[in-house]
Chains A and B, each alone.
Chain A
Amino acid sequence: MGHTSQHIFWFASRATGIIAMISLAASVALGLAMSARLARRPGFPAKLRHFHESLTLVTLGLIVAHGGLLLFDSWLRPGVAGITLPFSLHYRPVFTGIGIIAGWLAAILGLSFYIRKRIGARTWRFMHRFTVVVYCLALGHVLGSGTDAHSPWMIVLLSALTAPIVFAFTYRVLPGEPPRPAVVTG
């Protein structure tokens, strides 16, 4: 019991990290599916956009919780700098640094939606393309510094999360159908 209570914040951080990864993957996959126009049913894209926005906010909250909970871990003792400045943490600095960069990028790209009018839709769309980079960095962070990275269930989970993203990304990048000619009515 004492052992568990000693590492309770570490366990909680691990749990929020895993859920954040699932949430991030779902959000990125949804965004790619929308931009690749994989869902065409009337009214469905609007619902997906709403869900994508909500999921992104939840992901950001989970990322903050993942890093914030580590502040209270008596074994790691990262300090505020350790969880906010890339490559400053003594534990696996490269891979934790990659995770911190991913977190900051996720925050910038996710919250840029709310200043879209100010920065312009074109700039926002250009910025938003880099969300795939956030996922790649997060994946590297999990593989390199994740406690459960070697567990078979985690490898299966990561494969299951990554496959739809790669599918949607490739589908989005490859040339698709030519634009349909505008229908002239009347």
Chain B
Amino acid sequence: MSEQTATPPAARVPRRRSLYRTVLSLAAAAIVAASLPFSVVYVDALSKHSAGVGTTRIVHSASGQRRVTVISTRTSGSLATTSGVTPAAAGPATSTSPVSVTTRSS
């Protein structure tokens, strides 16, 4: 009886290969699906870096040295960027003057 139900060795190899193929595929799918939320964080960091959110730069112009602050707001995914300009002599403690930011909310 046991001789009849036993799988022949030749058939065992493809079966095992199929099993390892399925397991590896499932593992790959699970890893990618689980890491996708982290990629959102990475892409967001990348976008913020390129947009230069909140960065303050000293700009030299004909009228003297000025401090430029890039303000980027994101409402419902839309990015609105504007810059506020203050004289550099005012010092780092001084905040930039209010600037109008056009944004779009959903």
In the assembled complex, how far is the CB of residue A13 from the closest CB belonging to chain B, in whole angstroms? 12
State how many residues of chain B have any CB contact under 8 Å with chain A: 30
> In the complex, are the beta carbons of B36 and A167 less than 8 A apart?
no
Establish whether residues B36 and A159, one from each chain, have CB atoms under 8 Å apart when the complex forms.
yes
A154 nearest in chain B by CB position: B40
Chain B, residues 32-44, CB within 8 Å of chain A (1/0): the string is 1110110110011
Q: Give the chain A neighbours of B20 by CB distance below 8 A.
A: 174
- Choose, from A63-71, A122-130, A145-153, the stretch at the interface: A145-153
Chain B contact residues: helix, strand, loop or mixed: helix
Q: Is A19 an interface residue (CB 8 A)?
A: no
Select one of A148, A159, A160, A170 contacting B37, CB under 8 A: A159
Tell me the A residues contacting B by CB distance below 8 Å: 7, 10-11, 75, 91-92, 94-95, 140, 143-144, 146-150, 155, 158-160, 162-164, 166-168, 170-171, 174-178
CA distance A143 to B42 in the complex (A): 10
In the assembled complex, the Cα of A171 lies from the Cα of B39 at a distance in Å of 23
Q: How far is the CA of A69 from the CA of B13 in the complex (A)?
A: 54
Q: Measured between alpha carbons, how far is A167 from B21 in the docked complex, in Å?
A: 10
- The answer, among A159, A170, A175, for a CB contact under 8 Å with B25, is A170
